[in-house]
Amino acid sequence: MKARLTTPGARSRLRTRLLAHYDREARDLPWRGETDPYRIWVSEVMLQQTRVETVTRYYGPWLRQFPDVESLADASEDRVLKAWEGLGYYRRARSLHRAAAVVRDRHGGVVPSDPAGLLDLPGVGAYTAGAVASIAFGVVTPAVDGNVKRVLSRLYDEPKPTPRWLEERAAELVEPRRPGDWNQALMELGATICVPRVPRCERCPVAELCAARAAGTEQDRPAAARKKPARVLRISVALLYADDRLLLHRRPSDGLLGGMWAFPEGDVDEVAGRVGARLVGDVTALDEVRHRFTHIDATYLPAASRVDSTPTPPDDHRWVALRDVEGLALPVAQQRILGQWTSSRESEGA
């Protein structure tokens, strides 16, 4: 009963029906029909763990700033991170930046067309290599993302599909004449019909071929992974200012929010000591800012104080004129902290 798609005939019917549905119903997305490998690559990296609707807001502006591999490779990391600001998983931006330099220096500026060459690039894993190779170059290779995992888990009624199993099933299903469209059709099905909680089987073009549908187990496929509770963190941050300049800190490349700018962590006197400035006047405690990352429940405790001078700080710190702060790449939580300070100053001046 589980084995509905084990025969070539059944797989052929699946391809025909799903591609027909895709040709009829596919959403009109900014990168649909795109043929430039660089642009397809950019869209796939942005789409990693990120909704289509979110990526749509970043894709166009990114291409205006970095229209090709060379312009991206030549850009500063600050510009690249600024263009990525708010998208999250900032290592993706840093990896894409590095990869552009690799393509320029080792591939003559031409994006590799084979999955192996793509896999060598920073930030390109099995999914992205398969997606770019199939969509941009017509290579007959699968692309297994979260959607495809769910769709295959249901089609075969497999509760706990392993990466190996998924690659094998996906590989034997690829439509050899239209591999890119096929992979996108499978993902589109998962995104619009074969959705996580309550799938819309009544609208599914391949429901008759679905083993989970036949068994009534579609809502339990794939089996839910156990979740670990988020770490709870309380983080003191210091807003030190003199005249119209604010002290900011560039976070280390590795780890959380790597390479992004942020207010220095620690109490105001401690941070002032770190940069060799002296506090002047009262310390203002600002409202807490709670920010939940996927795995961290952070509460920022911001405090602001004027300082008497802006001595040359350590390399990873910078005194930034207020009007220049918006030019730096700040994580969402830091923007909210800045907003607290700004509003507290306004209410004081009023």
Task: State the residues that interact with DNA by CB under 7 A.
Answer: 29, 43-44, 47-54, 86-91, 95, 122-129, 131, 145-147, 150, 162-163, 184, 187-188, 190-191, 196-198, 224-225, 227-228, 255-258, 291, 293-296, 331-333
Cβ-based nearer residue to DNA, 128 or 340? 128
Neighbour count for residue 61 (Cβ, 10 Å): 10
Reduced to 3 states (helix: H, G, I; strand: E, B; else coil), residue 246 is strand
Distance in angstroms (rounded) separating the CA atoms of residues 172 and 161: 15
Question: Any idea of the CA torsion for 301, 306, 312, 314, to the nearest 10 degrees?
Answer: -10
Distance in angstroms (rounded) separating the CA atoms of residues 300 and 262: 12
Cβ-based nearer residue to DNA, 225 or 350? 225
CB of 260 within 8 A of CB of 81? yes
294 Cα distance to chain centroid: 13
- Got the DSSP string for 191-204? HHTS-SSS--GGG-
Q: Which residues are catalytic?
A: 44
Cβ-based nearer residue to DNA, 333 or 338? 333
171: Cβ–Cβ under 8 A, 6 or more apart, which residues?
141, 142
Shortest spacing between CB 26 and DNA, in angstroms: 8
Cβ-based nearer residue to DNA, 115 or 305? 115
Side-chain half-sphere CA neighbours of 164 within 13 A: 0
CB of 272 within 8 A of CB of 279? yes
Backbone angles phi, psi at 231, to 5 degrees: -65, 140
Cβ-based nearer residue to DNA, 147 or 340? 147
